[in-house]
Amino acid sequence: LENMYQLTRKNKYMLRVDLEDFEGRKGFALYSSFSVGAEADGYKLHVSGFRDGRA
């Protein structure tokens, strides 16, 4: 998690989450911004800006 924090603390990144249920149906969610907080904050995940998806 420390590596993800270091990677996301200085630049803006998009996040795509791909999902598949037990019947094989697939979906995704796309967000315009995500980052991982510092260890002192428990490496909290910050996600915002839902843009698209079928999740």
Give tens-digit pLDDT for 1-55. Answer: 999 999 999 999 999 999 999 999 999 999 999 999 999 999 999 999 999 887 6
The model carries a pTM of 0.78
- Domains of the chain with CATH codes: 2-53 (3.90.215.10)
Q: Hey, is 8 helix, strand or coil? A: helix
